[in-house]
Amino acid sequence: MVNFKLSEAGSVSLGIDGHIQLEEVLQRCATKAGLELGGYIAIRSRRVISSGTLIGNEDEIDVFPAISGG
């Protein structure tokens, strides 16, 4: 499950065989939601994960737009 926070896309579920990298998961979820994926911060279990992190079926990931304060 990928939760696109602060986005109209909301939550997107994806079935995965085994484990695949976060980058691919996000691209597939973004395509499914009709969303253009810009810079992002991805968080799993309150820890930041990177594009190469392996993701499984059981994972829930929060994705935030990579903005900054000002």
Partner 1 sequence: MFTILRINTATGETVREQSHAKEYVLGARTLSSRLVSREVVPTCDPLGRQNKLFFCNGALSGTVVSSANRLSIGGKSPLTGGIKESNAGGIVGTRMAEQGLRCISLEDAPARNAGWKIVVIGKDGVEFVDGEFLAGKGVYEKSDLLSERFGRKAGCITIGPAAEKLLLASGIACSDPHGVCSRYAGRGGLGAVMASKQVIAMVIRADGEVKPDYVDPEVFKAGSRRIIQLLKENPVSSAFTKYGTAAMVDICQALNVLPARNFTHGYMEGAEKINAQTMYDTIKERGGEGLTQHACMHPCAIQCSNVYPDKEGKLLCSPVEYETMALMGSNLCLNNLDTIAEMNRIANDAGVDTLDCGAAIGVAMEAGLAEFGDDKAAIGFMEEVRSLTPLGRIIGSGCKVAAKVLGVRHAPHVLGQAIPAYEPRGTKGMAMTYLSSPMGADHTFGFTLRDEENPTTKEGKVGLSKKFQVIGSRMDAMGMCNFVRYSVRNDMSPLLDLIKYLYDVEISADEFDEMVKETLRLEHQFNSDAGITGLDHRFAETFYEEVQPETGEVMDITDEECAEARRW
Q: How far is the CB of 17 from partner 1 (least distance, A)?
A: 26
Q: How far is the CB of 5 from partner 1 (least distance, A)?
A: 6
Burial of 70 (0-12, 13-18, 19+ CB in 10 A): exposed
Q: How far is the CB of 45 from partner 1 (least distance, A)?
A: 10
Name the residues that contact partner 1, by CB under 8 A.
5-7, 35-39, 41, 43, 46, 48, 50, 62, 64-70
Residue type for position 61: I
Residue type for position 68: S
